[in-house]
Structure 1
Amino acid sequence: MIAARDLPLAPLDAAARFTAHILPSIRNDLASDCIILFDPADRPHAIWRRAMVEELAREAAPARINAIVGTAEDAIAATVEYLAKAPGVTGQIFELST
């Protein structure tokens, strides 16, 4: 799992920080499955996040890239458990209740 937490509130700034600081570490290990953890945010963030996750999933195939949005540890753990049992799921963002 890669934590993409505490990103800036402005969507462009958040996308820029993700691209500069988090994306390189994900790309360095595209042979392994990855789950990106995001904090909850409004719709403009969902748009850039979806583009990042979908494109990373295409680049990483057959490894899987998914994301979880939320902070509730029990819900995150349940989603991680689900993904471990769902080998065909990739390029998805799971929005959890917080």
Structure 2
Amino acid sequence: MAVPAGVLRVGALPDEPLAAAAQFHAEVLPRALETLAGGADLALVFGPADHTHRDWRLGVVRGLARQHAPLRVNAVAGDDAAAIEAALAYLAQAPGVTGQSLPLDGTGAGAMLYQAR
């Protein structure tokens, strides 16, 4: 599967949403901005989190997408490697999709999202 060049795997963040957002902005955002400054689309890969993380994650993705258009910025969130790779492959083939955060549950949606040609 083709995966976009600007994939940034976020890594472990705190469970508490404000602490997670603070750590993201301090440690991950500079790397994201560097990727975008290099002219590459960006796909952030977050680990799974409950609904309390949705707003700050979506705000980051939408803000970066607006600020760096026409580059595309999207995110996926989950811990199933096959589902993550399928979603990244889908995003690589979907040039009109930007500013989105896709939660992945790893229950077989990968084959539905993307089929190799």
State the TM-score, normalizing by the size of structure 2: 0.80
2:112 is the counterpart of 1:90: no
Match of 2:30 in 1: 24
Q: Which residue of 1 aligns with 2:12?
A: 6
2:8 counterpart letter in structure 1: I
Q: For 1:36, what is the secondary structure of its paired residue?
A: strand
State the shift of 1:29 in Å: 2.4
* 2:62 paired with 1:54: yes
- Name the counterpart of 1:42: 50
Per-residue deviation, 1:87: 0.4
Across the aligned residues of Structure 1 and Structure 2, the Cα RMSD in angstroms comes to 0.9
C-alpha deviation, 1:16, in angstroms: 0.3
Please give the TM-score of this superposition, normalised by the length of structure 1: 0.94
Counterpart of 1:70 (choices 78, 96, 101) is 78
**C-alpha offsets along residues 59-88 of structure 1, whole Å, 9 cap, x if unaligned?**
111111100001111111111111111101
Q: Which amino acid aligns with 2:48?
A: P
SS in structure 2 opposite 1:75? helix
Whole-angstrom distance in 2 between the partners of 1:10 and 1:25 = 22
Q: Please, which runs of 5 or more residues in structure 1 have no aligned partner?
A: none
Percent identity over the alignment is 45
Partners of 2:24 and 2:17 lie apart in 1 by 10
2:11 & 2:61 partners in 1: Cα distance?
A: 15
Q: Tell me, in whole angstroms, the C-alpha distance in 2 between the residues paired with 1:11 and 1:51.
A: 13
Q: How many residues are aligned here? A: 98
Instruction: Detail structure 1 runs of 4+ shifted over 3 Å in the superposition.
Output: none
Structure possessing the higher radius of gyration over alpha carbons: 2
One-letter amino acid matched to 1:60: H
